[in-house]
């Protein structure tokens, strides 16, 4: 026995060079094919979502009180439209569409990161009070301090950050655990709601109505300057998120496994949460708390792509699709020519999903 052991112990093939035994070769190529199939599937899903988005975009730009045909639309976008078409498409409809698209991406990615980092499908900025914090700060600014649009946006951003910091600090026990973060977040969300109710009940009716409109969330106030700021911030945050996505994949496997893979878990979690909070904060600052977009986008994207991967790109596209479709629906598809803010539509889509999730979560309980 010892002889066999010793004989077997001594040799240890250098392990970064794989033995040329053909079974491993065959296996490697089979796996590579498998990987490619998964990648193809994800690419198909991304293409499908992008095509859908393009269709919705074309519809949003052509449909309305004044219809623009597709050839005219293309001509207008290429800078060869008539004066009225230029005004309708480029000044009225395009900013609205682009804003909806950008905030859809921002909300969706924020939710995807929160849910993955905290390993909980309920851990989305709209459930745990981060967007609520933005709302409370914005409404406080509007009603008490008489803020204009820009300062309201800044207040919203600040409110989201403050609430996130408070939750993080309260959840800290020599480290942050997902479920504690979520529970504290839900508690904070209630406190923020209470504060909002107080502010609204004290306000003048006219002011309160303006604040309520902001609270529902919508893209009707789109301006190119705001869009530019939002796009610039996204241009910084998205590459950072992409660089951190490897750590996010490791964190999905739990802190023990992530640590043994060489990830500094606490620091990585803090970085990722900071990016996610920033994404939710800039989106809320731009359009108000569009209900449930952050919450539903990533799970839907994962369900569609079905690869079990992180699916950040599909999630971003699903988010953009939800916000653009919601805004189109709110503008054009309601009976009797009724026009509503997009936030009402996203809420109508999102709330049943939340119920469904809660009703079926016994299956796993660990989620994203």
- Interface residues toward other proteins, by CB under 8 A: 1, 5, 7-16, 18-19, 23-25, 27-28, 30-32, 34-35, 38, 116, 119, 243, 246, 249-250, 252-257, 259-264, 302, 306-309, 364, 366-368
Q: How many CA atoms lie within 13 A of 302 on its CB side?
A: 18
In sequence order, what are the residues at sequence separation of 6 or more whose Cβ sits closer than 8 angstroms to the Cβ of residue 291? 126, 216, 217, 343, 346, 347, 350, 351
Q: Which residues contact 307 (CB under 8 A, 6 or more apart)?
A: 38, 41, 42
Closer CB to other proteins, 71 or 365, in the complex: 365
Q: How far is the CB of 260 from other proteins (least distance, A)?
A: 4
Nearer to other proteins, 82 or 257 (CB): 257
Which residue lies nearer to other proteins by CB, 131 or 268?
A: 268
Q: 179 burial class (0-12, 13-18, 19+ CB within 10 angstroms)?
A: middle
Q: Least separation, in Å, of the C-beta of 327 and other proteins?
A: 30
DSSP 8-state secondary structure symbol assigned to residue 363: G
Phi, psi of 36 (to 5 degrees): -65, -40
Closest distance of CB 107 from other proteins, Å: 21
User: Would you tell me how many other CB atoms lie within 10 Å of the CB of residue 280?
Assistant: 32
State the number of CA atoms in the 13 A half-sphere of 47 facing the CB: 6
Rank residues 275 and 368 by Cβ distance to other proteins and give the closer one: 368
CB of 198 to other proteins, least distance (A): 39
Question: Least distance in Å: CB of 237 to other proteins?
Answer: 17
**Nearer Cβ to other proteins (32/150):** 32
> How far apart are CB 33 and other proteins at their closest, in Å?
10
DSSP-derived 3-state class of residue 299 = helix
Beta carbons of 139 and 211 less than 8 angstroms apart:
yes
Please identify, using beta-carbon distances, which residue of 201 and 360 lies nearer to other proteins. Answer: 360
């Amino acid at each position: 026995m010892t002889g066999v052991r010793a004989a077997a112990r001594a040799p240890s093939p250098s392990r970064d060079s794989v033995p040329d035994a053909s079974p491993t070769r065959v296996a490697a190529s089979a796996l590579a094919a498998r990987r490619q199939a998964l990648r193809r599937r994800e690419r198909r899903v991304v293409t499908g979502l992008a095509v859908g988005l393009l269709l919705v975009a074309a519809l949003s730009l052509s449909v309305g009180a004044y219809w623009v045909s597709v050839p005219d639309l293309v001509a207008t976008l290429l800078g060869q439209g008539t004066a009225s078409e230029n005004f309708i498409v480029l000044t009225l409809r395009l900013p609205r569409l682009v804003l909806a698209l950008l905030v859809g991406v921002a909300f969706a990615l924020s939710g995807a990161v929160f849910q993955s980092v905290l390993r909980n499908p309920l851990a989305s900025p709209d459930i745990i009070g981060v967007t609520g914090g933005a709302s409370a700060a914005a409404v406080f600014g509007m009603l008490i301090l008489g803020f204009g649009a820009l300062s309201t946006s800044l207040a919203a951003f600040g409110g989201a950050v403050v609430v996130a910091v408070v939750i993080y600090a309260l959840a800290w026990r020599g480290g942050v655990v997902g479920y504690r973060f979520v529970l504290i977040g839900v508690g904070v969300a209630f406190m923020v709601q209470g504060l909002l109710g107080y502010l609204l009940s004290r306000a003048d009716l006219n002011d309160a109505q303006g604040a309520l409109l902001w609270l529902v969330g919508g893209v009707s106030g789109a301006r190119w300057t705001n869009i530019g700021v939002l796009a610039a911030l996204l241009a910084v945050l998205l590459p950072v998120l992409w660089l951190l996505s490897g750590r996010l994949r490791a964190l999905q496997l739990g802190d023990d496994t992530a640590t043994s893979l060489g990830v500094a878990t606490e620091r990585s979690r803090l970085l990722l949460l900071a990016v996610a909070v920033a994404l939710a904060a800039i989106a809320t600052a731009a359009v108000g708390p569009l209900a449930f977009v952050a919450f539903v986008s990533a799970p839907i994207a994962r369900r569609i792509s079905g690869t079990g991967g992180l699916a950040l790109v599909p999630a971003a596209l699903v988010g953009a699709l939800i916000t653009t479709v919601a805004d189109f629906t709110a503008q054009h598809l309601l009976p009797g020519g009724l026009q509503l803010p997009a936030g009402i539509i996203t809420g109508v889509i999102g709330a049943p999903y939340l119920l469904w999730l809660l009703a079926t979560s016994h299956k796993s309980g660990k989620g994203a």
